[in-house]
Structure 1
Amino acid sequence: MTTPFGATNATGIASDPKLQINRFNGLRSSSHSLLLLNKRLHKFAASSFTYPSLIRAVSTPVKPDTSAEPKRSKVEIFKEHSNFIRYPLNEELTTEAPNINEAATQLIKFHGSYQQTNRDERGPKSYSFMLRTKNPCGKVPNKLYLAMDDLADQFGIGTLRLTTRQTFQLHGVLKHDLKTVMSTIIRSMGSTLGACGDLNRNVLAPAAPLVRKDYLFAQQTADNIAALLTPQSGFYYDTWVDGERILSAEPPEVVKARNDNSHGTNFPDSPEPIYGTQFLPRKFKVAVTVPTDNSVDILTNDVGVVVVSDDDGEPQGFNIYVGGGMGRTHRIETTFPRLAEPLGYVPKEDILYAVKAIVATQRDNGRRDDRKYSRMKYLLSSWGIEKFRSVVEQYYGKKFKPCHELPEWEFKSYLGWHEQGDGRLFCGLHVDNGRIKGTMKKTLREVIEKYNLDARITPNQNIILCDIRRAWKRPITTALAQGGLLHPRYVDPLNVTAMACPALPLCPLAIAEAERGIPDILKRIRAVFEKVGLKYNEAIVVRITGCPNGCARPYMAELGLVGDGPNSYQIWLGGTPNQSTIASCFMNKVKLHDLEKVFEPLFYYWRRKRQPSESFGTFSTRMGFEKLKELVDKWDGLPEPSNRYNLKLFADKETYEAMDELAKLEDKNAHQLAMEIIRNFVASQENGKSE
């Protein structure tokens, strides 16, 4: 791969736009001509560029040998021929067809969109597009929320979806409406640029609008990293707003870091100084947080950045962790989920340079021949942390210091009412599976519009309403409750931490249900809890995905279900409630109707044999999978719920049987229905008091 010191990009193709056009006109189909062009450019680069004499703490990077043209995936060829993610997408968008071709389908991802079909329908394919926004820290200005709400009704399927990376997804947009929808988002203080594709995705940070030095610094750092790694070549604005740049001013430190090429991180004179024409080998994910706050699943990211403050609470620098990632492929053991590991500590003024050095290392050394192995986690696994650190230091120009000791991680949901620290309040609202629809959607719209509120999306698919005056708390609480957005104490604890990806019917990769299936699965888990004697306030982290790509991060769950075929799942166990431990595969191809055969013995023995305060994930690891499988295989089942609070103990036979008949209509047992009625009654009484 050719060094970015000269005028060529990461594939040895000229980054000068004029040379790009020449390549398109005559060279893109001829590998021989490309080799000749490559040689001429090497000669030109050697004769035309001189480098200043720099004093460095470490040597400059040694680039991979490019004497033999490396094997590349089809997507790499599409990127090479695209004129910085323009062609043939720009042509495909103007055709009458409802869909776009294969190359354009790959390129539109960089613009924040996926082409999809409704897999529930039979016959001719029904094409539509999913749009994903990019919201660093999950920040959603009032104007953008209202625009997204309108677009969902006018051009989508009437719902909004909150994602596990703090963004919106808008489903069901038709091709001929794409430009209208995209331009509306852009003109409403939003963007979809880089929400998908082989580049830096949305940068996570704690969504809580706390007025604290560490939180504000983490969120500002996330904003700056997002700006640093945003594409610069203008393809996005050319496509959707006819070249108009609707941008806010960037902080000078971001511009300075992006332009700095002291250690060979950039492609000089390229429209994409960091990415070049080939961008990155695969998607790249960054999260920023503060000590203890693991609302962002920090160790699942390619780069995790943690604020380190002094004893007075003043931020001094950052611990950096590298190599996390969730995606894998069934039955291919060389693919795997992985946790990030410590890289080192940098002072706060160096964070943009350190992140840029990591990106350059992955850009120049990540695999581009097989996309299954193109994430940075595989580079870490291949090289080891010491070699990886050494190469990153060459791009950074300094040595990393050892990471600082940090306290234990905690999962923070931020649900309910909280003080912001500036005299105002924020309210975290639970949204099942992140899907905003129906009465809930109407209610949120009314509250956000009436009180002119900004919002934030959490990495757990929930939403936070910000900057609420104290006088507004009571009327907002009442309005939200009437719209089905209840105080978290009225939400089943299992639902509070549960997550699922959209899966069927729109995701082309899904092989099992996730979002549509999780409500019933959670009810079944709750029924098993009651049957084996677990209390209502006990819960585990449940995450479900329709395929092994892991968009809902199931490999960090205490109980992860991963689609493994039609109505069939892998079961993963061993994650922890604070998302600091990775799970392992416990069983393959468990049919949907057989889940209780696995759940009952696992939860029964967790209740019977756990240590004090031991979580289900920790219990699973301590017991060992061999022992747990033995317990599952020998399980004969419990004839009746062992819960001493069973409804049968408190109702006469006639009442119980009547309740049981009603419960069957809702696919529940009598005890579940009775508890639901009681909880709803208590909730209505509480709401009446608040009014």
Structure 2
Amino acid sequence: MSTTATSSTTNNTGVAAASWGKLSFRRSHQNATTTNNKNVKVRGQQTLKQLRRRSNLTIVNVATPSKKSSAEPPKEPKRSAVEIIKENSDFLRHPLIEQLATPETFISEDAAQLYKFHGGYQQDDREKRSFGEGKFYQFMMRTKQPAGLVSNKLYLTMDDLANTHGNGTLRLTTRQTYQLHGILKQDLKQTFRTVIQNMGSTLGACGDINRNVTAAPCPDKKNPSYEIAQTLALDIAELLAPQSGAYYDVWLDGEQVMTVEKPEITKARMDNSNGTNFEGSQEPIYGSLFLPRKFKIGVTVPGDNHIDFLSNDIGICVVNDAGGKHVGYNVYAGGGMGRSHRNNETFPRIASPIGYVDKDDIFYAVKAIVCTQRDYGRRDDRKQSRLKYLVHSWGVEKFTSVTEQYFGKKFQPIAPLPEFEFKSYLGWNDQGDGKLWYGVHVQNGRLRGELKKALRLVIERYELPVRLTAQQDLLLCDVDPKWKDDIHQTLKNAGLKDLDDIEPNDQLSMACPALPLCGLAITEAERGLPDINKRLREVMETVGLTKSDDIMIRMTGCPNGCARPYMAELGFVGDGPNSYQIWLGGTRNLTGIARAYEDKVKVDDLETFFEPIFAYWKQNRNSGEEFGQFVNRVSFEEMKAFSGSYVPGQLVSAERLPRVMVERAALDKLIKYAEENNTTLTAAATKAIMDL
């Protein structure tokens, strides 16, 4: 590990701006370093020990280019452009404030980067461009809804804004929030102001910051663990919320909104006993640079993995003792979905178990992990800046050890938990307090048309609160049983199907918005998946599978994985126009990562591609074996061999495939050839025979 570091500079707030090197130290953080060299030279003859005494010193980790020789002067470490924008923004204020006041229909790139932290993206509707007039700019706004909890007042506000300032639709995201699409720049400030004044927020919904904290949204009052998880999601969102006031400067022209915070949250945020904080800063946890990249946290309860909690930077599960009393939490770290095609240094990853903490320590444990990522996460290469890459490169043991120095104590061993399962919450359910809740399926999260109107009608009529799910669905809560028939019939008249009439694959599916708005989209997702699901069901029926044979299918228009396709039994990841990379082998309980099965599968070829795969599952699965379980039991090599021999409409079992016996010496040569050429035995044997 290199010990090169550079000294800090001070910005106009009096707080240290970034000094960049491969080591990370903070004043009063007495044990944060992982090196044994206590006298490393830093600019002249000062030692790190001396530098650490300086009240304004902060050295933040980035990858520093190695010097070619000790005689050469140290080079300035590489920093991504976004790091410079953040550093010069006065805690996310400028140039966004100035850009919002210009007459143009867009904002500058620097301002657009800051706009993300405030809760949205600048977008270009590719399908509304006029010839010769350039991009058709509009804006997306995303709310912050910890645990997906939405008051009646905020639901009605968002429904109104969709009509008056958006494109007439409401989007429910895979992280339990709203997205409002189609906002014009001239309407931005009024849109944000309206949300803020109606019990909502968008602060930190995007950007290099803690994003929306998800939690199992089930309103079941009989299981107190759900309320514990939801409350913790709200509390962590408060703990890690930006503190500088820039949000109100930008959107409310400095008008402050008074909020009441739990004393224990304030205490945990301001605690600097382990050197976690920027003392005297407007942002005691984040400093002027915030985090290296986006940061996601999810909280769940034993046995319920509705939220894919292991796909988060931090995953948390409530732990109860043998008598059912809440005692603490299991903590996991290093999950994340994003990757890039043809870049093997990027990959999806599930979070690793870090340890158990007592319930009174959870704020400090979360803060310690965030600060470890803040100080050691890479800031030179945004493709390598997520926490998962830090955990992967260090290993769980080292990561845990460094985090414990920020935490001030050891993590305890992970507490045993029951097996997890996916719960959808759809249909009518007993809330446990004399009331009901109704899980409304919203295909790919897009609320529009008659269903949107009908939902507005019943939510307003009965003053219902709402919960957004991580499956892009919606829960109507606190329903008096005497209202049930009216609500059910009103929604049914608007086209909502009864649960038994919804295609099973559709119930389990998710898709990101993709085209035409997302600037990263390569191909369709939200608009394409419904038809693809229909075609896949027809193929499944062709090979003899029934309606009860369902598959968890997820689709994204690019490899960033917003709909978490890498956790699904069958994932479609856009890799070209009308083309997808196919991932197989995620499990229904969402505790493992799928694997890339095939690249560049064209939409027009889906029937031909999937028929042998589904036929192989139909003919060779164990009793009750789900698709993901089956794929993980057999090998990709076997599946591809079967597909290569498959005759459409004629099931061919693996047992009936022709076999050829070879001498041991020939087999050994074949194995060696396959290893040297990074190929399979089947491919190696096929090549040898075809070359005869």
Q: TM-score normalised by the shorter chain: which range applies?
A: 0.7 to 0.9
Match in the other structure for 1:89: 96
Match in the other structure for 2:603: 592
CA contact (8 A) 1:164 1:552 kept: yes
CA contact (8 A) 1:299 1:580 kept: yes
Residue 304, structure 1, aligned to residue 315, structure 2: yes
Whole-Å Cα distance in 2 between the matches of residues 356 and 383 of structure 1? 19
- Pick aligned residue for 2:371 from 347, 350, 360: 360
CA contact (8 A) 1:556 1:581 kept: yes
CA contact (8 A) 1:20 1:83 kept: no
Whole-Å Cα distance in 2 between the matches of residues 118 and 614 of structure 1? 43
Whole-Å Cα distance in 1 between the matches of residues 119 and 7 of structure 2? 24
Offset from partner CA, 1:452-488 (integer Å, 9 cap, x none): 0010000000000111111111111111111122331
Match in the other structure for 1:14: 10
Task: Give the superposition deviation at 1:310.
Answer: 1.4
Whole-Å Cα distance in 1 between the matches of residues 432 and 547 of structure 2? 33
- Pick aligned residue for 1:285 from 292, 296, 305: 296
Whole-Å Cα distance in 2 between the matches of residues 118 and 42 of structure 1? 54
**Could you say if the C-alpha distance between residues 559 and 247 of structure 1 is closer, same or farther in structure 2, counting changes exceeding 3 Å?**
farther
Task: Give the superposition deviation at 1:15.
Answer: 6.0
Whole-Å Cα distance in 2 between the matches of residues 598 and 12 of structure 1? 57
Offset from partner CA, 1:327-377 (integer Å, 9 cap, x none): 000011110000111000000000000000000000000000000000000
Name the SS of the counterpart of 1:334 in structure 2: coil
- Give the counterpart letter for 2:109 in structure 1: E
**Could you say if the C-alpha distance between residues 62 and 150 of structure 1 is closer, same or farther in structure 2, counting changes exceeding 3 Å?**
closer
Whole-Å Cα distance in 1 between the matches of residues 200 and 386 of structure 2? 27
Match in the other structure for 2:143: 133
Residue 543, structure 1, aligned to residue 539, structure 2: no
Name the SS of the counterpart of 2:279 in structure 1: coil
Taking the TM superposition and a 5 Å limit, the aligned residue runs for 1:261-660 are 261-638=272-649
Task: Give the superposition deviation at 1:605.
Answer: 1.2
**Could you say if the C-alpha distance between residues 49 and 98 of structure 1 is closer, same or farther in structure 2, counting changes exceeding 3 Å?**
closer
Taking the TM superposition and a 5 Å limit, the aligned residue runs for 1:158-197 are 158-197=168-207
- Give the counterpart letter for 2:148 in structure 1: G
Name the SS of the counterpart of 1:268 in structure 2: coil
Name the SS of the counterpart of 1:17 in structure 2: coil
Offset from partner CA, 1:405-464 (integer Å, 9 cap, x none): 111110011111111122111111100000000000000000100000010000000000
CA contact (8 A) 1:11 1:278 kept: no
Whole-Å Cα distance in 2 between the matches of residues 224 and 135 of structure 1? 12
**Could you say if the C-alpha distance between residues 273 and 47 of structure 1 is closer, same or farther in structure 2, counting changes exceeding 3 Å?**
closer
Whole-Å Cα distance in 2 between the matches of residues 333 and 597 of structure 1? 29
CA contact (8 A) 1:15 1:270 kept: no
Task: Give the superposition deviation at 1:244.
Answer: 2.1
Task: Give the superposition deviation at 1:46.
Answer: 3.1
Whole-Å Cα distance in 2 between the matches of residues 631 and 15 of structure 1? 64
Match in the other structure for 1:119: 126
- Give the counterpart letter for 2:334 in structure 1: G
Residue 142, structure 1, aligned to residue 138, structure 2: no
**Could you say if the C-alpha distance between residues 301 and 176 of structure 1 is closer, same or farther in structure 2, counting changes exceeding 3 Å?**
same
**Could you say if the C-alpha distance between residues 398 and 69 of structure 1 is closer, same or farther in structure 2, counting changes exceeding 3 Å?**
farther
- Count of residue pairs brought into register by the alignment: 608
Match in the other structure for 2:80: 73
CA contact (8 A) 2:220 2:431 kept: yes
Whole-Å Cα distance in 2 between the matches of residues 537 and 121 of structure 1? 41
Whole-Å Cα distance in 1 between the matches of residues 7 and 586 of structure 2? 40
CA contact (8 A) 1:509 1:547 kept: yes
CA contact (8 A) 2:165 2:187 kept: yes
Name the SS of the counterpart of 1:172 in structure 2: strand
Task: Give the superposition deviation at 1:12.
Answer: 3.2
Name the SS of the counterpart of 1:218 in structure 2: helix
Offset from partner CA, 1:98-129 (integer Å, 9 cap, x none): 00111111110000010000112343210000
From the two aligned structures, give the one with the greater helix fraction: 1
**Could you say if the C-alpha distance between residues 75 and 64 of structure 1 is closer, same or farther in structure 2, counting changes exceeding 3 Å?**
closer
Name the SS of the counterpart of 1:244 in structure 2: coil
Name the SS of the counterpart of 2:265 in structure 1: helix
- Give the counterpart letter for 2:159 in structure 1: D
CA contact (8 A) 2:426 2:499 kept: yes
CA contact (8 A) 1:258 1:274 kept: yes
Tell me the TM-score normalized by structure 2. 0.85
CA contact (8 A) 1:420 1:426 kept: yes
Task: Give the superposition deviation at 1:48.
Answer: 5.6
**Could you say if the C-alpha distance between residues 447 and 12 of structure 1 is closer, same or farther in structure 2, counting changes exceeding 3 Å?**
farther
- Give the counterpart letter for 1:275 in structure 2: Y
Could you tell me which runs of 5 or more consecutive residues in structure 2 were left unpaired when the two chains were aligned: 1-5, 18-41, 65-73, 652-692
Task: Give the superposition deviation at 1:317.
Answer: 0.3
Whole-Å Cα distance in 1 between the matches of residues 126 and 269 of structure 2? 43
**Could you say if the C-alpha distance between residues 65 and 134 of structure 1 is closer, same or farther in structure 2, counting changes exceeding 3 Å?**
closer
Offset from partner CA, 1:619-662 (integer Å, 9 cap, x none): 1122211111122222221189xxxxxxxxxxxxxxxxxxxxxx
CA contact (8 A) 2:125 2:136 kept: yes
Whole-Å Cα distance in 2 between the matches of residues 64 and 285 of structure 1? 21
Task: Give the superposition deviation at 1:312.
Answer: 2.5
Name the SS of the counterpart of 1:618 in structure 2: helix
Whole-Å Cα distance in 1 between the matches of residues 479 and 446 of structure 2? 23
CA contact (8 A) 1:568 1:591 kept: yes
Whole-Å Cα distance in 1 between the matches of residues 152 and 268 of structure 2? 31
**Could you say if the C-alpha distance between residues 420 and 14 of structure 1 is closer, same or farther in structure 2, counting changes exceeding 3 Å?**
farther
**Could you say if the C-alpha distance between residues 263 and 610 of structure 1 is closer, same or farther in structure 2, counting changes exceeding 3 Å?**
same
**Could you say if the C-alpha distance between residues 48 and 137 of structure 1 is closer, same or farther in structure 2, counting changes exceeding 3 Å?**
closer
- Give the counterpart letter for 1:121 in structure 2: K
User: 162-171 or 66-75, which moves further after superposition?
Assistant: 66-75
Whole-Å Cα distance in 2 between the matches of residues 104 and 46 of structure 1? 36
Name the SS of the counterpart of 2:319 in structure 1: strand
- Give the counterpart letter for 1:505 in structure 2: P
Task: Give the superposition deviation at 1:318.
Answer: 0.4
Match in the other structure for 2:256: 245
Whole-Å Cα distance in 2 between the matches of residues 529 and 300 of structure 1? 29
Task: Give the superposition deviation at 1:537.
Answer: 2.0
Match in the other structure for 1:26: none
Residue 100, structure 1, aligned to residue 107, structure 2: yes
Whole-Å Cα distance in 2 between the matches of residues 592 and 454 of structure 1? 40
Match in the other structure for 1:27: none
Whole-Å Cα distance in 2 between the matches of residues 62 and 271 of structure 1? 18
Whole-Å Cα distance in 2 between the matches of residues 278 and 455 of structure 1? 35
- Give the counterpart letter for 1:192 in structure 2: T
CA contact (8 A) 2:314 2:332 kept: yes
Whole-Å Cα distance in 1 between the matches of residues 148 and 583 of structure 2? 29
**Could you say if the C-alpha distance between residues 176 and 421 of structure 1 is closer, same or farther in structure 2, counting changes exceeding 3 Å?**
same
Name the SS of the counterpart of 1:572 in structure 2: strand
CA contact (8 A) 1:139 1:207 kept: yes
Tell me the TM-score normalized by structure 1. 0.85
Task: Give the superposition deviation at 1:498.
Answer: 0.3
Whole-Å Cα distance in 2 between the matches of residues 312 and 429 of structure 1? 34
**Could you say if the C-alpha distance between residues 236 and 627 of structure 1 is closer, same or farther in structure 2, counting changes exceeding 3 Å?**
same
Taking the TM superposition and a 5 Å limit, the aligned residue runs for 1:50-69 are 69=76
Could you tell me which runs of 5 or more consecutive residues in structure 1 were left unpaired when the two chains were aligned: 1-9, 22-34, 51-60, 641-691
What value does the CA root-mean-square deviation take over the aligned residues?
2.4
CA contact (8 A) 1:213 1:314 kept: no
